[in-house]
A and B are shown apart, each in its own frame.
Chain A
């Protein structure tokens, strides 16, 4: 038996290479940082190589494989490789690579001096944690990887030393995060108490064959959703978001708003879908929440989605700090994506995937431009952006396009994202939700336009000139072109998302 399980683990490692590559990156960075502290480009270069290698291995991982790390005791393991996790891993890697590239020209990071080593080390552990989150099918592994992601991001959020708001952000993040993961752990323990297993598939098996009281199940579900909801800044667990996003270095804000949210969504979709879906039902759409039929989950989540987007948008209206505004807007976007989760059929999940993929480009783009301008201008206040569009035309136009895309106006990619989301909602007869989403888009238009207005419609006397290096120009273009291109030609994303809705076992 023992030999068997060891063999099994060794075999599983073949499928685990992308994660191993990230681990290796983590340790190499740690060691290199000890000896070559002064070098500016070495650490980012190593991280980039690590991420790219991991991506390469990811693409060439042999096929779908369920249940990695299973041992003789139970045949169902801890980890799966499926198209669904592949999609999110690609997304996370892209976001991480962009973050590293952003960091190269970020003033905040470069001025951090001696601590820069830890920054890159933690980014790689952050990526590793998110990778694990997207593929885990075991509650214990889920909790541990959740903690890895959280710990790394707490420290990263407070990374810039001497900046008071950064320290405050970090502390707030830790306190909220500790409560959230505590809640999640509590939910996990209730589930374990009910079923005696931590494996999602076994939980599902047990739940669908035994008569379980609904109350503990509902409470457990709520606690787990709450814990994950914290990560994706779902209302009413969103309070940390604006402070942390504003206080953290902008590169970290960018990655938190995209990658960590993506991992949270992947976890949310996978865990709830596997645990609570009745496999025997023929029509998946109507029976998505079959096991918890006593409680109207989809309506609860629809309510939370509405709350999330409306709160996010309304709060964003009053912001004068651009970074804080983007933080609130990212709460709103989480709300839009949650509406896709309400449906939980393939259409809904596909809509979320498409949304994320597009959101990656437009949101990172917006943050990058804001970062470049903030480094030069020393401010993220909207007032200081007055007339900037004429002094730095390329950045101004790029930011405008990113913001228009975030609003969802054609012919930008953001429109396609919203189109698929609302399309899925209408198809599933959630028309009121689609209408609320639409109205929210109108609200969001106002605050996005406020930035555009300050940049182009008002003139100012401030001296400002921006000499964009070739590198930054390329990075901006690499985000800008997809944002425009996918607005007109979006077949590839749709196909990618279509293939990626397959969760192992479905």
Chain B
């Protein structure tokens, strides 16, 4: 096992453990903070893959933007720290069995398959390459992603406004 491998597994471990805490934590603040480590772990893996630009973007947008927003949201909501989130477990045994089977199959696949290995390319300017792809081959995908984000935005606005309307009606 090379150092490279070691670092990869370290990051993978960070991602898994922190993601588990996000789901399992009873206090939403803990969840939010542990999400921070998940995002960092993913960024670390990007660095390992030589995708420097994406790694930076991951840190800036997810950690710097989204996560901070989430934490703000959590903090500013009244008394949210006292709310116990339901994290009960149902059907423990069947789910362990099923996920065990699925997980086992996947592990078997990952270890036994001859994956098609891409030839390692050393690119000095990944930003340029990404940019070029986005306006040529993946142009349509890029545009589509824009529309999807717009739709998501509309949706979230609608949901938010709905809440507001409902509370107004209650006040009346």
Report the count of interface residues on B (CB-CB < 8 A).
34
Q: Are A152 and B113 in contact (CB under 8 A)?
A: no
B122 at the interface (CB under 8 A from A): no
Cα–Cα, bound, A155→B148 (Å): 12
**Given that A161-B165, A161-B166 are known contacts, is A144 also in contact with B144, CB under 8 Å in the complex?**
yes
B108 at the interface (CB under 8 A from A): yes
How far is the CB of B162 from the nearest CB of chain A, in Å? 4
Q: Are A148 and B151 in contact (CB under 8 A)?
A: yes
Cα–Cα, bound, A71→B165 (Å): 49
Contact partner, B115, options A2, A140, A193, Cβ 8 Å: A193
Q: Are A5 and B136 in contact (CB under 8 A)?
A: yes
Cα–Cα, bound, A26→B137 (Å): 24
Closest to A174 in B: B155
Cα–Cα, bound, A30→B140 (Å): 21
Closest to A195 in B: B116
**Given that A9-B136, A118-B154, A213-B114 are known contacts, is A219 also in contact with B148, CB under 8 Å in the complex?**
no
**Given that A148-B151, A151-B148, A216-B113 are known contacts, is A78 also in contact with B140, CB under 8 Å in the complex?**
yes
A69 at the interface (CB under 8 A from B): yes
Q: Are B109 and A215 in contact (CB under 8 A)?
A: yes
Contact partner, B105, options A121, A159, A219, Cβ 8 Å: A219
Cα–Cα, bound, A119→B5 (Å): 50
Chain B binding surface SS class: helix
How far is the CB of A126 from the nearest CB of chain B, in Å? 9
CB 8 Å contact bits of A144-179 with B (1 = contact, 0 = none): 110110011011001101100000000000000000
- Chain A residues in 8 Å Cβ range of B148: 144, 147-148, 151
Q: Are B147 and A196 in contact (CB under 8 A)?
A: no
Q: Are B141 and A141 in contact (CB under 8 A)?
A: yes
Chain A binding surface SS class: helix
Q: Which of A5, A151, A162, A190 has the most CB of B within 10 A?
A: A151
B57 at the interface (CB under 8 A from A): no
How far is the CB of A183 from the nearest CB of chain B, in Å? 10
The list of the 10 closest CB pairs from A to B, nearest first, reads: A155-B155, A196-B116, A71-B137, A161-B162, A5-B136, A216-B109, A216-B113, A193-B115, A71-B136, A144-B144
* Contact sample, A vs B, 19 pairs, CB 8 Å cutoff: A26-B147, A30-B150, A69-B137, A79-B140, A121-B154, A125-B147, A125-B150, A128-B147, A140-B141, A144-B145, A193-B113, A193-B115, A193-B116, A194-B115, A194-B116, A206-B116, A213-B112, A215-B113, A216-B109
Which residues of A pack against B, CB within 8 Å?
A: 2, 5-6, 9, 23, 26, 30, 69, 71, 73-74, 78-79, 114-115, 118, 121-122, 125, 128, 132, 140-141, 144-145, 147-148, 151-152, 154-155, 158-159, 161-162, 190, 193-196, 206, 213, 215-216, 219
Q: Could you list 4 further interchain pairs (A-B, Cβ under 8 angstroms) beyond the known A148-B147, A162-B166?
A: A69-B137, A148-B148, A154-B155, A155-B155
Which residues of B pack against A, CB within 8 Å?
A: 105-106, 108-109, 112-116, 118, 132, 136-141, 144-145, 147-148, 150-152, 154-155, 157-159, 161-162, 165-166, 169
